Every structure is written in structure tokens, then in C-alpha cells.
Chains A and B, each alone.
Chain A
Amino acid sequence: MVKEKTKEKFYFNIFRICMLFTIFILGFILLYVIINGYKVINFRFLTTMWNHQDITQGGIFPAIFGSILLGIGISIISIPIGICTAIYISEYAKENYFTNMVKISIRNLAGVPSVVYGLFGLAFFVFLLNLGTSLIAASLTLGCMTLPWIITSSEESIKSVPNSFREASIALGATKWQTIKKVVVPSSLGGMLTGSILGISRAVGETAPIIMVGATFYISYLPTSPTDKFMALPYHLFILATQHSSPDAKAYALGTALVLISLTFIMNLGIFIIRYKLRKKKEW
């Protein structure tokens, strides 16, 4: 028995070390980016236009602006449609082989690589629909990429609302739509929102699709219409790392990385807060 106990201690310590190593990796990544990037961050960096000839004079504001616009565009396109589709699939569609296939397909589309969505976006939005490489083409492409994710997480959220809620509502005389509107949606809203924000934050960090359908190296103006070109944080980061010859480029790349991670972090924090508040409200 003593031998068993020591064996257990041994293995448990190994597992502990593994977990620590995993956390260490995360910590290292964050520290590396923060330490190397923070020197570059100041008010000017965040709010001025990009100065190409002397990058120390300018800032990454156009990239931040572009990424935010992109995020908004993706949200407008994918969140309402995604939630509608999730509601239909969960509440209205008959439970048959066909709908099951559809559900499985959508769930697995979420796992398809972003390059593939980029190819689709290029062929469909940029060429076929003649939108050119623009903000709208990029929003649509990344919107398609985020849709399966939003649909799946909303669907799970809706599924987790107990049937007793629905039954009680119908027993009180409400129609199906009223039940959905007043009972199901409010209960599952938190989950749907967190899933959506998670999906959007993933999309805003994607580089491969926007290389193909939109982002530019330099623009002299801020995008104001959906057909404008735009700069975006991930792409800006990429070119600072591989194509810029300025000696400050490395530091600026890391500064941009810090901004990007912070943006993602803020969104994730939002999710965390929503989840926490919800857990308090949830009774079941």
C-alpha cells in the first residue's frame, strides 16, 4: 500500500508539472509580447495614422480602426443570421435524419481551416459578386467562417434550456413564437452572446483569409465605405515581421501584437463577466 501511495505521488507530481508547463507556455508568450512590446505603446502609437517613411513618427490607428470595423461588420452579418438559424434548427425543425445531418454538417464546418474560407471568399465575394478586395468582402468571408461557430454554440445554449420552461409556457396558453421570444431566448441569451463574442474575437485575429480578400499594406485614408480597402491588425503584424526593413519594425511588430492580444483579451474578459453573472442568475 505504501508503494501504491508513492506511485500515486509520483504520477500526480508528473501531472502537476505538465499542467504547470502548460501554464508556463502561456505565461511566457504573454510576457514575451508584453516586455518587448510595451515600450512602443503610447498614446501616439494608438491614435495616429501610420507613417511609412519613419514608423516611429506614426501609429497603428488605421490598423486598429480597420480591425474594429471588420469586427463590427462580421458581427452584423453573422450574429443575427446565426441566432435565427440556431433558433429554427432547435425549435422548429422536425427531428429527423435530414435535420440531424444538417446539424452535424454545421458543427463540423466550424472545424474547417480558415484558408479554405478564404478561398471561398475570394472566388465568391471578390470575383463572382465583383465586390473586389474590400471591407465588405472580408466581412462577408469572415462572417461565413464565424457562422457555424455561432450557430453551434447558440444551438447548445438553446438546448440547455429545460423543457419544463417551454411546457409551462405553452400550458399558460402562449404560442410557440411567444414561448421562444419570452422564455427560451432570454434564458439562452447569455450563452448565445458568449459564443458569439468568442467567435468574433477568433475571426478578428485571423490573418490568412484577409490576406486573400482584403487587407492592404498601406492606405493614405481611413476606410469609410464598405468598398474601401482597409488595414487590419493581424495583417499589419505579419508584414511588420516579414517585410519591413526599418530597425524598429521588430519592436513595432511586438507592440502591434500586444494591442491585438489586448483586444482579444478584453473581449474574452467580457465573456467571462457575462458567464459569471449568468451563473449567479441560473437556478438550474
Chain B
Amino acid sequence: MKNSTKFIGGIFIILFIGFIWMGFNNSKGDVTGNIISENKDLKVSDQNNKIEIKGSDTIVQLVSNLAEDFSKNNPDTKISVTGGGSGTGIAALLNGEIDLADSSRSIEQKELDLAREKSLDVKEVIIARDMLSVIVNKDNKVDRLTIEELSKIYKGEIKNWNEVGGKDQKITLYGRQSTSGTYTFFLEHVVKGEYSENMRNLEGNQAIFEAVKQDKGGMGYIGIGYLKEGLKNENNKIKAVDVSYDGKDYFSPLDESKINDYPISRGLFQYTKMKPVKGTELYDFIQFELSEQGQKIVEDSGFVKIANSDKQKNNDVLG
């Protein structure tokens, strides 16, 4: 009995360690750091009545609203929406886990290369537009900044509000986590350098809103949906800063007539693994998002409807 116990135990141990070792050696790493395990087959997660969506926290509420409305008329479709950041969404899409990736930044070249390696034909749809807003506490004298000043502030080169026309107060920087598309977008289009290491990395748009509300020296960046929602309710705590490219003309993110002039505007995207097939739930859902009804929800959620040029691009993709 004792011997057979040892024998069984021994076999288990060998099998187990072998199993684990096999598991690790299946994933290869590379210097750019964006490779996926080859051994996983793509999960066919588009069983016809399930749509799994993951990605940007900026538009997670918007997409949830759209999903909710869509479900009312299509009760058999099972939709799930999760945040985690644009990076999370795209990674999950490439891993084959989801059907639709929400992203507040455009997909990067290395991600596209990866997709090609995995035989994925990633398609991009633009579902809304955002005027990324920079917010400060209402008590702050400063109400306009240039892109140059924003960049220096977020890099940590300008540390005090009095350097940009405010009172003598240290600037506290609030930003998102690196998983966030907003973080990446702001980094690449405004900061164009390294974020200051003193920037607080907060969990979501709302967290940034709350922080700047309480911090007289604070500054943060949030999607316009969150700005409008916040101003509706407690508009004596924060305000949005007018932004300018050149120091001459300043634009407010709330001014919808100047969408094209506002320096920090961006498209909000969704990515699919392949061209959406007519007749599938996924196709219907995307069409719904782009329809009058869907775009009304976009507006109600605080974002900006897509422009005609966007509509054209979408039509090319959807056919």
C-alpha cells in the first residue's frame, strides 16, 4: 500500500510538472512585447446570439447604453460589455476572446501586424467623436492654455499655476492608467514626451472628475461625456479649460460649432476581427450604433455624433 501510494504520487508529480512546463513553453516572447501564445485556437465567440465587447473605459458607458437599447428590441441577443482600457480591448480581440473591441485611440501598427500574423482582418468602425477635455477646479483663475503649456505641465516641467497665469499653487496632475486609450491618446497628441512621474494614475474618468472637484490645484483630462454629465449636476466645482494650438484662438470643448477646430478631438472606435457579415447580430448591432437612434444615444451620453466623412469610412467597411 505504501509503495503504491508513492508510485501514484510520483506519477502525478511528473505529469503535473510536465504539463506546466508545456504550458509555458508554448508562449514565445519578443522584444516588442506584444506576442500571443500560438497554441490557443481562436475561440469562436460569435456564436450567433452572443456579442462580447471589451475595451475603452471612456466609452464603456456609451456602449452599455447602446447595448441596453439594442437588447430591448433584440431580447435574444446576449451582449456583455466590460471596460479595462482600450489596450485591454484590443489585446482581447487579438486573443480571440471577444467580438468587438472599444477603443478611444486608433489601433497601432504593431497591433495590426500581430493581427495579420494571426490571420485576422481587423476592421475599424468609428461610432462617435470626443472632444477630450482638460479640467481644473472652479477656483482656479486659469481658464485657457495652449497645447505647448499643457504638454509642459503634464511632463512636469511647469509645476506651479503661477507660471501660466494662476495663483501660487502647486499643480497636481491627474491622469488615467496606462491601459487607457485616453492616457495613450493624450500622451501621443498633447504631451508628446514622458508623463511626469508625479501624476496620479486614477482608475477611470469619474475618478479624475472627483479628484479635480476636490483639489483646488488639480488638473485632469476626461472624455466630454463625463464633462457634460458632471457639469449638469454640480457645475460649481470644475470647469473645462479652453485650448489653443497657437496661443491666438482658444476653443472650448463644449462649443459644438467648433468641433473641427478644437485641438484635442478624436474619433472613438470599435474594432472587429473581420469584416462584419450581413445578417449576423454583430452587424445589426453596429448598424444600430450608427443609426439615427444610436447616434442620439451618443449625444445623450454626452459625446459628439460622427461626421459625414466618418459615415463614408464606415460604409466602406460595412459595405
Instruction: Report if A and B touch in the complex (beta carbons < 8 A).
Output: yes
Binding site for B on A (CB under 8 A): 51-53, 124, 127-128, 130, 132-133, 215-221, 228-229, 239, 242-247, 249
Within 8 A of A (CB), among B42-64: 43, 45, 52, 57, 60-61, 64
Q: Nearest B residue to A235 by beta-carbon distance?
A: B82
Q: How many A-B residue pairs have CB under 8 A?
A: 88
- Kindly list chain B residues whose C-beta atoms are within 8 Å of the C-beta of A219: 78-81
CB distance from B224 to the nearest CB of A (A): 11
Q: How large is the interface on B (under 10, 10 to 19, 20 to 34, 35 or more residues)?
A: 35 or more
Q: Nearest A residue to B23 by beta-carbon distance?
A: A128
- Kindly list chain B residues whose C-beta atoms are within 8 Å of the C-beta of A220: 67-68, 71, 77-80
- Kindly list chain A residues whose C-beta atoms are within 8 Å of the C-beta of B203: 242-243
- Kindly list chain B residues whose C-beta atoms are within 8 Å of the C-beta of A53: 65, 68-69, 297, 300
Please tell me if B206 contacts chain A, counting CB pairs below 8 Å. yes
Q: When chains A and B are docked, how far (Å) is the Cα of A124 from the Cα of B60? A: 27
CB distance from A179 to the nearest CB of B (A): 18
Contact of B64 among A52, A228, A247 (CB under 8 A): A52
Contact of B205 among A52, A221, A245, A247 (CB under 8 A): A245
Q: When chains A and B are docked, how far (Å) is the Cα of A130 from the Cα of B225? A: 36
- In the complex the two chains form, is A218's CB within 8 Å of B67's CB? yes
Q: When chains A and B are docked, how far (Å) is the Cα of A246 from the Cα of B300? A: 12
Within 8 A of A (CB), among B225-255: 225-226, 229-230, 232-234
Q: Nearest A residue to B83 by beta-carbon distance?
A: A217
CB distance from B1 to the nearest CB of A (A): 10
- Kindly list chain A residues whose C-beta atoms are within 8 Å of the C-beta of B65: 52-53
Please tell me if B37 contacts chain A, counting CB pairs below 8 Å. yes
Residue pairs across A and B with Cβ atoms less than 8 A apart, 6 shown, are: A130-B43, A216-B82, A220-B79, A229-B82, A243-B60, A243-B205
- Kindly list chain B residues whose C-beta atoms are within 8 Å of the C-beta of A242: 202-204, 206-207
Q: When chains A and B are docked, how far (Å) is the Cα of A171 from the Cα of B100? A: 68
With A52-B65, A127-B40, A130-B40 in contact, is A243–B57 under 8 Å at CB? yes
Counting from the closest, the 7 A-B pairs by CB-CB distance are: A243-B204, A220-B71, A218-B64, A242-B203, A247-B233, A245-B229, A219-B80
Please tell me if B209 contacts chain A, counting CB pairs below 8 Å. yes
Q: Nearest A residue to B226 by beta-carbon distance?
A: A245
- In the complex the two chains form, is B64's CB within 8 Å of A239's CB? no
Please tell me if B310 contacts chain A, counting CB pairs below 8 Å. no
Please tell me if B97 contacts chain A, counting CB pairs below 8 Å. yes
CB distance from A36 to the nearest CB of B (A): 16
